[in-house]
Structure 1
Amino acid sequence: MDKRLTRFLVSIVLISALSFSFLSAADTDPWYVGKRIASFSNSGLQNVKESVVLDIQYKYLGKPFSDELFNELQGELYGLEHFLYFLADARRTGEGDNELQIAMTFYELPYIKTTTIEGNQGIKTKDITEVLLAKEGLFIDEQNIELSKQKILALYQEKGYADAQVESEYVIDEATNTADLKYIIRENQQKRIGQIVFEGNEKLSSDMLSKQLSSKQVSYFNSGYYNPSTIETDKQKIITFYQSRGYIDAAITDVRTEDISTEDDTYTRLRVVFTIEEGEQWFFGGIEVEGNTVFSDEQFQSLISMRKG
Structure 2
Amino acid sequence: MRVKNTFFVFAVFCVAAIFSAAPVFSQTDSEDWFYGKPIKNIVFDNLKNVKQGDLDGVTSSFISKPFSDDLISELYDRVFSLEYFDDVEIKAAKNADNGKTVNLILSVVERPVVMKLNFDGNRYIHDADLKSKISLKAKDIFVESKVLEDERAIRNYYIEKGYTKISVESSFEMRDDGAYVTFKIREGRQTVVKSIGFAGNQVVSSKTLKGKISLKEAGLFRKGSFQESSLSADSRAIVAYYQNRGYADAKVVNIDQKTSYNEQKNREEIEITFEIQEGIQYNFGGITFDGNHVFTTEELENLVTLKTGAVYNETKFQETRMNIQNLYYENGYTSNRFATDINKDA
Alignment TM-score > 0.5, same fold: yes
1:89 CA drift (Å): 3.8
Over the residues paired in the alignment, what is the CA RMSD in angstroms?
A: 4.1
Q: Identify if the C-alpha distance between structure 1 residues 67 and 275 changes in structure 2 by more than 3 Å, giving closer, same or farther.
A: farther
Q: Identify if the C-alpha distance between structure 1 residues 30 and 202 changes in structure 2 by more than 3 Å, giving closer, same or farther.
A: farther
2:222 maps to which residue?
222
Q: Is 1:138 matched with 2:140?
A: yes
Q: Is 1:255 matched with 2:243?
A: no
User: 2:7, 2:69 within 8 Å by CA — same for their partners in 1?
Assistant: no
2:274 maps to which residue?
274
Higher mean C-alpha deviation, range 278-287 or range 150-159: 278-287
Residue identity opposite 2:7 in structure 1:
S
For residues 73-124 of structure 1, what are the alpha-carbon distances to aligned partners after superposition, in whole Å with 9 as ceiling and x for unaligned? 5466446541244232445676877764544332333311111112222112
2:7 maps to which residue?
19
Q: Identify if the C-alpha distance between structure 1 residues 106 and 303 changes in structure 2 by more than 3 Å, giving closer, same or farther.
A: closer
Higher relative contact order (CA 8 A, sep 6+): 1
Residue identity opposite 1:243 in structure 2:
Q
Aligned partners of 2:255, 2:231: CA distance in 1, in Å? 8
1:43 CA drift (Å): 5.0
TM-score by length of 1: 0.72
- The unaligned stretches of length 5 or more in structure 1 are 1-9, 23-28
User: 1:135, 1:181 within 8 Å by CA — same for their partners in 2?
Assistant: no
User: 2:174, 2:180 within 8 Å by CA — same for their partners in 1?
Assistant: yes
Aligned partners of 2:139, 2:49: CA distance in 1, in Å? 10
Residue identity opposite 2:185 in structure 1:
I
Residue pairs, 1:1-309, within 5 angstroms: 17=5, 19-20=7-8, 30-35=32-37, 37=39, 45-49=47-51, 64-67=66-69, 70=72, 73-74=75-76, 77-78=79-80, 80-90=82-92, 100=102, 102-173=104-175, 175-176=176-177, 178-287=178-287, 305-309=306-310
Aligned residues: 287
Residue identity opposite 1:261 in structure 2:
Y
Q: Identify if the C-alpha distance between structure 1 residues 277 and 61 changes in structure 2 by more than 3 Å, giving closer, same or farther.
A: closer
- The unaligned stretches of length 5 or more in structure 2 are 11-30, 311-346
1:47 CA drift (Å): 3.8
1:260 CA drift (Å): 3.1
1:249 CA drift (Å): 3.3
Provide the secondary structure at the position in 1 that maps to 2:132. Answer: helix
TM-score by length of 2: 0.66
1:196 CA drift (Å): 1.2
Aligned partners of 1:237, 1:187: CA distance in 2, in Å? 30
User: 2:94, 2:102 within 8 Å by CA — same for their partners in 1?
Assistant: yes
Residue identity opposite 2:137 in structure 1:
K
2:327 maps to which residue?
none
Higher mean C-alpha deviation, range 140-149 or range 162-171: 140-149
Aligned partners of 1:186, 1:282: CA distance in 2, in Å? 51
Provide the secondary structure at the position in 1 that maps to 2:240. Answer: helix
Residue identity opposite 1:239 in structure 2:
V
